[in-house]
Amino acid sequence: MARPQKRFITRTMALLLAFLLFQGDFSLSQQDREKDRLKTSFRWAAMEYQAGKYREAVKNLQLLLSYFEEREEGKRKDIEHQDKELQGKIYLLLGAAYERLGDIHQARQNYRLSRELLENPEIEGINVGGLVEYQRIIMKKKKPVKRRIIEKPGFKPKKKRRSPVLIIVGVAVIGALVTAQLLNENKSRGDHETFTNPSYDTDQLYIQWRLVPAGEFIMGDNFYEGDTDELPLHTVSLDRYYISKYEVTFKQYDRFCEETNWVKPGDNGWGRENRPVINVTWGDASAFCNWLTRKTGKNIHLPTEAQWEKAARGIDQRRYPWGNSPKTCMKANYNCSSTTYVVGTTTKGDSPFGVSDMAGNVAEWCLDVYDPLYYFNSPGVNPLNSLPDPYVVGVDFVIRGGSWDGSQPITIRSADRWYGRYNMSQRNTPIGGLADKKSPTVGFRLVWEESY
């Protein structure tokens, strides 16, 4: 009887050991699955943020934080490095979502917590660098504070007498410098505003150009008042280029039609000459650019979406070309008339680079194919969402700037985006193309780049 009892004990111990080992593996598997679940939940919250669903992202991120907050305070130092990194990213994304929602206090609080946990407070695939509070808390960038001189009550500083000779000499020097600057500016304008190609001078078309210097600007809706296709904010670097001061006019476009047998668009009975050309498709506008390129030997095309926005708002992220003040009919032909204005009528609304009618009169075709999510993966240097290859039948192209018939000021903001469809199968039609978007509210302007 001893051997069967021994075998029974041995088998029992083996089964118990196997059970303990299984329990250890099971527990480890549960932990791994918990980590995977947390990471998956975070990815979903990130996708909600990218889609502009900031409230939903906040709700899910707060649920994720409960996993860490349930731990005892004394064990926080024992959190694994991977968990610590995930917790920091949760705080970072929470801060960004709160900032998008306008809750600056919560944004700052979460940014600070994120900075304590992350060495590099960033999230792969998500650009939050354009957010103001992120710059201040994470990047520690502050606005310069102007020094103020505080005077004691009753204290009056003594006025220093200045020598009349020094005043006269100073005025003369300043006058000479101002004169030299004006001469340089006039010379620069004479060099750059018009082409000098001997075979075909664009002076014949009265095209004036404005220089937009190379450099960076932040692109997108920094006021968070538009649609989600204007987000996220992202930094864009552009090479220098020239943009036409005015929208292409009927007089200029008719010249192209006469030389190429292109059908002239209708003017709705408003008149032609120096009014902006209307009722043109994206294909019509591109054909005009190609014709002018052949005539001049210069690289002339429709502005890219980024080129248009920088020329419209400058580098200080203003709401409108003239600034952030409300629109008037002296600044933009928008809900002011039942027709277009002659180009250049609203010069008080010119952009920082001296470009007219970028808000109102007519909206303008851009070179880019429209994509509501393009800002999430837009290149940082000279971005262009180019044509699909092979071509498809119908393509949506970006349209920028409000038009004369608008009723919502939101549409004349420099960050506003919309689109019109063009039938690519008609792109070589000599009669001007049969497009889905041909409107009395849409025209175009030109960009000239020095290199191809």
- pLDDT of 183 above 80: no
Report which secondary-structure segment, H or E, holds 242.
strand 241-244
54-71 pLDDT, tens digit each: 888 888 888 888 777 655
Same domain, 234 and 342: yes
Same domain, 375 and 227: yes
Record the pTM. 0.57
Most confident residue range from 38-42, 120-124, 183-187, 414-418: 414-418
Residue 61 near residue 93 (C-beta atoms within 8 A) = yes
pLDDT computed for residue 369 by the predictor? 93
Q: Which of 45-54, 150-159, 199-208 has the lowest mean pLDDT?
A: 150-159
Among 137, 156, 181, identify where a domain stops: 137
- Nearest in space to 207 (alpha carbons), one of 243, 155, 237: 243
Tokens of 414: 């420099």
Same domain, 92 and 200: no
Query: Would you call the peptide bond into 232 cis, given omega within 30 degrees of 0 as the criterion?
Result: yes
315-353 pLDDT, tens digit each: 999 999 999 999 899 999 998 889 999 999 988 999 999
What would the DSSP string read from start to end of 40-100? Answer: HHHHHHHHHHHTT-HHHHHHHHHHHHHHHHTS-GGGGGG--HHHHHHHHHHHHHHHHHHHH
Residue 219 near residue 232 (C-beta atoms within 8 A) = no
What would the DSSP string read from start to end of 355-423? Answer: ---SSSSSEEEEEEEP-TTGGGT--SBS---PPPSS--SEEEEEEES--TT---GGGGSTT--EEEEEE
Which CATH number does the domain housing residue 274 bear?
Answer: 3.90.1580.10
Residue 430 near residue 262 (C-beta atoms within 8 A) = yes
Backbone angles phi, psi at 423, to 5 degrees: -80, 100
How buried is residue 231: exposed, middle or buried, by Cβ count under 10 Å (0-12/13-18/19+)?
A: buried
Task: Evaluate whether residue 163 is within a structural domain.
Answer: no
79-117 pLDDT, tens digit each: 455 678 888 888 989 888 888 887 888 888 888 888 888
Task: Evaluate whether residue 3 is within a structural domain.
Answer: no
How far is Cα 432 from Cα 419, in angstroms, rounded to an integer? 19
Amino acid type, 423 = N
Same domain, 212 and 129: no
Residue 344 near residue 429 (C-beta atoms within 8 A) = no
Direct distance between the N- and C-terminal alpha carbons of the chain, in angstroms, rounded to an integer: 98
Backbone angles phi, psi at 235, to 5 degrees: -85, 130
Task: Evaluate whether residue 164 is within a structural domain.
Answer: no
Query: 54-69 and 2-50 are packed helices; what angle lies between their axes, rounded to 10 degrees?
Result: 150
Task: Evaluate whether residue 42 is within a structural domain.
Answer: yes
Tokens of 86: 């995930």
Task: Evaluate whether residue 145 is within a structural domain.
Answer: no
67-86 pLDDT, tens digit each: 776 554 444 444 455 678 88
**Residue with the two structure tokens 């000021």:** 409
Same domain, 108 and 205: no
Show the domain range for 86: 17-137
How far is Cα 142 from Cα 384, in angstroms, rounded to an integer? 32
Among 102, 118, 137, identify where a domain stops: 137
Structurally, the chain folds into a number of domains equal to 2
Residue 403 near residue 364 (C-beta atoms within 8 A) = no
How far is Cα 353 from Cα 371, in angstroms, rounded to an integer? 27
Same domain, 58 and 194: no
Give the rounded distance of the alpha carbon of 28 from its chain centre.
Answer: 46
How far is Cα 180 from Cα 1, in angstroms, rounded to an integer? 118
Burial 395-425 (b: 16+ CB within 10 A, else e): bbbbbbbbbbbbeebebbbbbbbbbbbbbbe
Among 137, 168, 199, identify where a domain stops: 137
Same domain, 124 and 203: no
Same domain, 217 and 110: no
- pLDDT of 236 above 60: yes
**Residue with the two structure tokens 């928008």:** 334
Residue 250 near residue 273 (C-beta atoms within 8 A) = yes
Same domain, 121 and 224: no
Q: Which of 48-52, 327-331, 362-366, 403-407 has the lowest mean pLDDT?
A: 48-52
Same domain, 133 and 194: no
Which CATH number does the domain housing residue 76 bear?
Answer: 1.25.40
Same domain, 262 and 380: yes
Q: Which residues contact 393 (CB under 8 A, 6 or more apart)?
A: 423, 424, 425
Beta-strand relationship, 447-449 and 299-301: antiparallel
Bridge partners for 420 per DSSP: 397
